[in-house]
Amino acid sequence: MSQTVGFVGLGTMGGPMAGHLQSAGQRLVVWNRTAAKCQALHEAGATIAESLAELAPQCDVIAMCVNRTEDVRECLAQIIPHAKPGTLIIDHSTISPAETPAIGAELAAVGLRFVDAPVTGGSMGAQKGTLTVFLGGEPADTAEAEAIIAPYSKRVARVGSVGSGQMMKMANQIAVGGALMALCECLAFAHKAGLDIAQAREMINTGAGGSWAFENYGPMILKQDWTPGFSIKNQRKDFAYCFEAAEVLGAQLPGTTVVDHLLGTLAAQGHNELTTAKLYELLAGTESSEASLAE
């Protein structure tokens, strides 16, 4: 491949995504705040940049997968002064839909191109290379982005101009919250009814009640494996962006509000870093969980 791609952010999602690019033969330069996370990719052939200022001028395309709007802005502040004119920046982070168009405009003003490209499919999708990606940007830019990110995606589509990708991700996160609630409430009810929750999960998942949550979080609940995955902290961060967007749009999010409240109860109990599937325990309940839920 003639292009050099930079990848910024090698966490639970970004690490496997960059790994798929490397396996596909992409010329890759990587940077992560915790440098040790670059080592496996370096051993596979990627170049490690000591800083974003060092990464930027080497790359034709820079993909980012960091956490919050503030993190994106912090990284871009270090990239912009050193990036080549016309560099395409693909942002896989889930950030504020309200701020995303402004970020795109700021980059365009200095001759850089921008596509907001949040992903869904969870850590499992990142590992398997089967993510769904929502692209917001100019048609030529999104077409270029689609070709670059193909190694870690199964479904990619342009959903509108810059910022539309984040709006679609908000719609996705609203659905994710509802599916999580349905799974945990269902299995908690089955548990209290004295049913075999493994059988309940298997049978309900094959019918009208089945979902991605049943398929992927169901086994975690059966094993009582609360390692993320997608953490309560990050789900609530995304919900905050959903509420921000909903207020501007005049949209109602009653289900999301309930799920956020329940996850907030878990966070207050010290479970912020655990998977959102921990919600099952709150609903199925230990004595302390039931007391917290009743408050």
DSSP type of residue 22: H
As a whole number of angstroms, the distance between CA 112 and CA 82 comes to 11
As a whole number of angstroms, the distance between CA 17 and CA 125 comes to 9
Q: Write out the catalytic residue numbers.
A: 169
As a whole number of angstroms, the distance between CA 46 and CA 22 comes to 7
C-alpha angle 246/250/252, rounded to 5°? Answer: 65
Three-class DSSP category at 61: strand
As a whole number of angstroms, the distance between CA 121 and CA 116 comes to 17
Three-class DSSP category at 88: strand
